Amino acid sequence: MSDLISVAIIGKSSDQLATRLGLSPSPLEGSDLALFIVSAADGIVRADIDSWNLAREMYIPSIVVISETDTAELDFDDMTAIASKILDPVATRYLVLHSDDGKATALIDLETLFIIDYSNGIPVTMESDQEHKDLVGEYHLEYHERLEEAGSDGFINGLLFPALPWISESELGLDQIRELIRLVPTIS
């Protein structure tokens, strides 16, 4: 993805995510960005908590990537709540939408209120209907409050911790992870 920044990828399936993103993972010390993969199936392990604390000491911009919600009892919302208690409060820009059979098929962007639909294998962005806007109104306000508290550079300064879903089978969330990686300043 970018040869100019170094990215540490910590947690279960880190090699798989690195491959999907086209990255060669770096050690946490000296990295420009850290991706912390939190498995809904396995939870957060002590070694990852220790790495998280080290990243906080170094103010490394960090993204919490919630994985395996498609195969576990816990969903994205459950895992963001757990991550917020064990690590630090996370900022949730996207909520996961499910089909009638419970399969994660789309994201709703809490900044724009647009829906990114993955149900046909290719992400398609569309305007949400009023029902969706009403349902996520409280989350929309909460997200904007978190952004305001952290400041416009909160993520880059290691003060705002976005949580994003990632479902490897459908690649749901992968583009959103890439988008955040692109925000990290490159070394010229």
pLDDT in tens, 1-15: 445 799 999 999 899
> In the chain, what is the straight-line distance between the N-terminal and C-terminal CA atoms, in Å?
16
**Residues, the chain:** 188
Task: Judge whether residue 187 has pLDDT over 80.
Answer: no
Position 72 confidence tier, pLDDT thresholds 50, 70, 90: confident
* Cα–Cα distances in angstroms (integers) from residue 95 to residues 119, 133, 139, in the given order: 15, 12, 9
Q: What is the pLDDT of residue 186?
A: 75
The answer, yes or no, to whether residue 188 has pLDDT greater than 50, is no
What is the rounded distance in angstroms from the CA atom of residue 179 to the CA atom of residue 85? 26
The pLDDT of residue 1 is 47
Q: So what's the pLDDT on residue 61? A: 97
- What pLDDT, on the 0 to 100 scale, is given for residue 155? 95
CA atoms of 99 and 79, how far apart (whole Å): 20
Domains of the chain: 7-95+151-183 (3.40.50.300)
- Looking at residues 35-56, what average pLDDT do you find? 95
